[in-house]
């Protein structure tokens, strides 16, 4: 089964992201706006239970995350993906690093860039047009995230929560 580890921002940021995702993200109906902490990976039931125990221990170490969506950016020319950039903080980088190193579920596909996708799979022309418009609009939202989740992918391609971990530590 395919799993991923994500954190969901506040409803306010999700609603703002969805105003763009409705039009520009073909995955709009498959998953709620989120910040990926670990890319999708395969695991069986035994392995995912081991992973969940390790994630529980990580969640108990870290305090809720203070995040700031500070601007609209793009992964162009790698992909035509547009996103809300989440300002990296030592705490955010440390929790992502702890997940990567302690859970050991494969090497990361990309360097960790905290973000919430708002548009993807655009043609070059669409990307240039939409990105120009959205950059002028901008974003400046702050919120606290007090939990993260293991999601799993259903047969229809949508994602749903497998387990939730409350951030309750001091780090």
Residues carrying an active site annotation:
34, 115
Rounded CA-CA distance 49/148 in Å is 16
Beta bridge partners of 5: 38, 150
Answer yes or no: are the C-beta atoms of 141 and 5 closer than 8 Å. Answer: no
Nearest to 21 by CA among 86, 115, 118: 118
The SS3 assignment for 21 reads: helix
Beta bridge partners of 3: 41, 152
What crossing angle do the helices spanning 11-24 and 124-137 adopt, rounded to 10°? 150
């Amino acid at each position: 089964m395919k799993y991923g580890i994500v954190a969901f921002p506040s409803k306010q940021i999700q609603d703002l992201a969805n105003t763009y995702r409705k039009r520009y993200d073909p995955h709009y109906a498959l998953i709620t706006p989120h910040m990926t902490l670990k890319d999708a990976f395969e695991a069986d039931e035994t392995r995912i239970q081991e992973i969940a125990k390790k994630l529980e221990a990580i969640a108990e170490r870290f305090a809720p995350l203070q995040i700031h969506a500070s601007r609209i950016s793009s992964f162009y020319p790698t992909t035509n993906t547009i996103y809300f950039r989440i300002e990296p903080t030592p705490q955010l980088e440390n929790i992502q690093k702890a997940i990567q190193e302690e859970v050991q579920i494969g090497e990361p596909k990309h360097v960790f860039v905290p973000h919430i996708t708002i548009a993807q799979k655009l043609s070059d022309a669409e990307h240039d047009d939409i990105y120009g418009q959205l950059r002028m609009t901008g974003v400046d939202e702050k919120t606290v995230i007090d939990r993260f989740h293991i999601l799993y992918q259903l047969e229809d391609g949508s994602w749903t929560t497998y387990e939730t971990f409350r951030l309750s530590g001091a780090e």
